[in-house]
């Protein structure tokens, strides 16, 4: 008999926590998962999945516009926000149910209330019940960060945007990271006037500079306005319900909604980690070693609550590696090298490996191959938008250090190409591959 109530108690039922729980249970562990909201986590409930569905929905505006030149005609097409919103939320319900069934089928106990840590092996539930576990895994993820200024309580975040009763015609978005620009593209395509406000003049910090510049040009041509070096001063509500948005050094803006997308922080406030001697980083992240262990031997952490790569597939791998290590007797670490990522902006961009700037700083002697082209899909469109693919290679070996692209379907193309980058293939390997014509992807083997 165990000295503890559970072999593993997971706090947080997101992608990383669910994976860790079900795999640990499959190894024979007695597992419970505590979740104060819904099973599925940020990605499934209020993040990348519902957001991608909104992206799909917004693309029809462009497709309907281009359809006429392809011989199609439609009479009085109109957009119905409640219908799209409700379909998206319905799919969230479906996925939430699937995650619950996954835990149930693996014998994992679900505890639908907040849990906090009371010591190396202690957990207290919101109901007041206290339990113990040999191992505790923290997988509570992150939470939107909202700067403090007068009227900041009138803003929404990516948590609330999926539940808007009415479609806003005027949207101000604070921030210029991937969440900000993805929602900017969605609202813009669906007919809203969008203004992106940023404290600096850099969008998508960390992505290749050439792609960032290209996206900025294209989105501006689509009608998205940018205001750089503009901190928020205050927001006030008018009698008609609209918002006056006051920015430093600018005339006030009028908005129906202000979406704050200035980043996310680990959701560790009030979690009780200090009772186990765990000291958090300045941003609230939990420090862990290569096996996801904290400074307390019985407590581990995976996913966005740490300061590693904040991506759902990474959290899933971390959860798998944790369970294999602790309960499967198979010590496993996660390889964070060459992790692909994408921004589902309009158009989307994607990248894997080093950017041109990073490669020059690290290797010095590099060669950059590129293709700047007009996607075939856009030939009949009235938009003169061009795609851009870049291959960054080490010299003289030709080994591919990074691949970055912007254009229609860039993320779908990059996933397969990322395998080549991860495998350490060379520019010659790309050249030796016959092009698939006509396609945008063929540009990858025709780069000069």
Q: Is 17 annotated as a binding residue?
A: no
108-124: burial string, b at 16+ Cβ within 10 Å, e else: bbebeebbbbebbbbbb
Q: Which of 87, 121, 229, 437 is catalytic?
A: 437
Q: Is 304 annotated as a binding residue?
A: yes
Q: Is 351 annotated as a binding residue?
A: no
Q: Cα–Cα distance between 288 and 266 in angstroms, integer? A: 13
Q: Is 124 annotated as a binding residue?
A: no
Q: In whole angstroms, how far apart are CA 118 and each of 108, 136, 273?
A: 22, 11, 8
Any idea of the CA torsion for 157, 265, 226, 410, to the nearest 10 degrees? -100
Q: Is 180 annotated as a binding residue?
A: yes
- Is there a contact between 302 and 287 (Cβ–Cβ < 8 Å)? no
Q: Is 178 annotated as a binding residue?
A: yes
Give the closest residue to 165 by CA, choosing from 87, 86, 48.
86
First to last CA, the chain: 66
Q: Is 181 annotated as a binding residue?
A: yes
Q: In whole angstroms, how far apart are CA 40 and each of 94, 167, 299?
A: 11, 26, 22
Would strands 225-228 and 232-237 be described as parallel, antiparallel, or unpaired? unpaired
Q: Cα–Cα distance between 173 and 255 in angstroms, integer? A: 10
Q: Is 177 annotated as a binding residue?
A: yes
Q: Is 176 annotated as a binding residue?
A: yes
Q: How many residues does the chain have?
A: 448
Q: Cα–Cα distance between 232 and 247 in angstroms, integer? A: 5
Count the Cβ atoms, other than its own, within 10 Å of residue 236.
Answer: 13
- Is there a contact between 141 and 159 (Cβ–Cβ < 8 Å)? no
3-class DSSP state of 271:
coil
Q: Is 329 annotated as a binding residue?
A: no
Q: Cα–Cα distance between 191 and 412 in angstroms, integer? A: 26
Is 106 labeled as catalytic in the residue annotation? no
Q: Is 206 annotated as a binding residue?
A: no
The binding site comprises: 52, 175-182, 263, 304
Active centre residues (catalytic): 437
The binding site for NAD(+) comprises: 175-182, 263
The binding site for FAD comprises: 52, 304
């Amino acid at each position: 008999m165990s000295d503890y109530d559970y072999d593993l108690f997971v706090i947080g039922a997101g992608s990383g926590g669910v994976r860790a729980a079900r795999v640990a249970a499959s190894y024979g562990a007695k597992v419970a998962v505590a979740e104060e909201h819904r099973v599925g986590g940020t990605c499934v409930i209020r993040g990348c999945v519902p957001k991608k569905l909104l992206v799909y929905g917004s693309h029809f505006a462009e497709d309907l516009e281009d359809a006429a030149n392809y011989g199609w005609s439609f009479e009085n097409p109109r957009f119905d926000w409640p219908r799209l919103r409700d379909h998206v939320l319905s799919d969230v319900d479906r996925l939430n149910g699937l995650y619950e069934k996954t835990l149930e089928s693996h014998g994992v106990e679900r505890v639908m209330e907040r849990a906090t840590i009371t010591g190396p092996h202690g957990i207290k539930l919101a109901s007041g019940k206290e339990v113990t576990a040999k191992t505790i895994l923290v997988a509570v993820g992150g939470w939107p960060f909202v700067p403090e200024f007068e009227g900041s309580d009138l803003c929404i975040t990516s948590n609330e945007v999926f539940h808007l009763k009415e479609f806003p015609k005027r949207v101000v978005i604070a921030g210029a990271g991937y969440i900000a620009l993805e929602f900017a593209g969605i609202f813009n395509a669906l007919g809203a006037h969008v203004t992106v406000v940023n404290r600096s003049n850099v969008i998508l910090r960390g992505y290749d500079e050439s792609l960032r510049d290209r996206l900025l040009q294209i989105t501006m041509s689509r009608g998205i306005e940018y205001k750089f070096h503009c901190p928020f001063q205050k927001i006030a509500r008018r009698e008609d319900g609209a918002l006056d948005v006051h920015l430093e050094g600018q005339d006030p803006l009028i908005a129906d909604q202000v979406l704050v997308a200035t980043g996310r922080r680990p959701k560790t406030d009030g979690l009780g980690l200090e009772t186990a001697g765990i000291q958090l980083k300045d941003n609230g992240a939990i420090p862990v070693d290569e096996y996801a262990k904290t400074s307390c031997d019985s407590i581990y952490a995976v996913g966005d609550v740490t300061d590693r790569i904040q991506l759902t597939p990474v959290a899933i791998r971390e959860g798998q590696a944790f369970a294999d290590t602790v309960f499967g007797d198979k010590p496993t670490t996660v390889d964070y090298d060459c992790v692909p990522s994408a921004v589902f902006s309009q158009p989307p961009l994607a990248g894997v490996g080093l950017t041109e700037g990073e490669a020059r700083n690290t290797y010095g002697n590099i060669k950059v191959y590129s293709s700047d082209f007009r996607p075939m899909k856009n030939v009949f469109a009235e938009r003169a938008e061009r795609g851009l693919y870049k291959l960054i290679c080490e010299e003289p070996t030709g080994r591919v250090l990074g691949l970055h692209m912007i254009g229609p379907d860039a993320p779908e193309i990059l996933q397969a190409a990322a395998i080549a980058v991860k495998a350490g293939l060379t520019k010659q390997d790309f050249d030796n591959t016959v092009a698939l014509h006509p396609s945008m992807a063929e540009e990858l083997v025709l780069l000069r």
